[in-house]
Amino acid sequence: MKRLAVCVALTVSAAALAAGPAATAEPSPGKRGTPARHHAPAKAANESARLARSILNTKGITYATAHVGGTDKASLPKQNLVDVSNGRLARTSPWGHKKGARVALDTKMLNGALKLGTQYRYKFQISELVGGEHSRTSKHYAGRAIDVTWINGRHVGKKADHKGFMKACRKLGASLVLGPGDDKNHKTHVHCQW
């Protein structure tokens, strides 16, 4: 009888180990015996994936195929969106201040970029999300900024409607918007960050 009890105990223990950490989750405060649940990160990741897919499917939004400072396909803006749409983090470029890091794309930034195309009907080219080289404290490295080089078929700095685009970014909640005339480093692109 003792052997049977030991065999049953070992079988139950092996099954619990095979099930992994979810089987041994800590109870949440105030609810005895209920596994702790952490829905917020998964929800944010799901929302980012949904928004990234929507941007990729929006006609009129295009993407730079090269960086100003080097070549790295894994950190181009379209690949950043593809990665996030598939539940992964976006990759920074192997140069600059955050070499080859993985970054979550902010849902406010993604929502703003999407609405620039769907609500405001701009046709634009995203030149950078988290890739490329930026200042050490740039919000690109936090997944909260977008750079745009072409607006409605015209290059920024060469008769593109960058002022209207910048105004739309502000209306969509961007906390910092820079472009030609605002900053010497933004003569050829618009920077919108959330």
**Helix-strand-coil percent breakdown of the chain, rounded to 5?**
40, 15, 45
63-74 tens-digit pLDDT: 999 998 788 999
d(CA 110, CA 105): 7
Q: What is the DSSP letter of 23?
A: G
**Which CATH architecture best describes the domain 61-194?**
2-Layer Sandwich (3.30)
Give, for 151, the enclosing helix (H) or strand (E).
strand 145-151
Higher-pLDDT residue of 144, 28: 144
In this predicted structure, the answer to whether residue 17 has a pLDDT above a threshold of 90 is no
Give residue 90's pLDDT. 98
Give residue 74's pLDDT. 96
Higher-pLDDT residue of 124, 18: 124
Mean pLDDT (whole number) for 81-92 = 97
Q: Which two tokens stand for residue 7?
A: 């065999």
Domain residue limits, the chain = 61-194
d(CA 141, CA 160): 27
Residue 135: alpha-carbon gap to chain centroid = 19
Give residue 41's pLDDT. 55
- pLDDT-derived band at 178, boundaries 50, 70, 90: very high
In this predicted structure, the answer to whether residue 26 has a pLDDT above a threshold of 60 is no
Give residue 11's pLDDT. 41
d(CA 176, CA 184): 15
> Which residue is listed with tokens 């078929």?
153
Q: Which two tokens stand for residue 90?
A: 């976006």
Q: CA distances (Å), 175 to each of 14, 36, 108, 166, in order?
A: 53, 35, 11, 11
88-134 tens-digit pLDDT: 999 999 998 899 899 999 999 999 999 999 999 999 999 999 999 99
- Those residues with Cβ within 8 angstroms of residue 40's Cβ, 6 or more apart along the chain or in another chain: none
Mean pLDDT (whole number) for 127-149 = 96
- pLDDT-derived band at 29, boundaries 50, 70, 90: very low
- pLDDT-derived band at 160, boundaries 50, 70, 90: very high
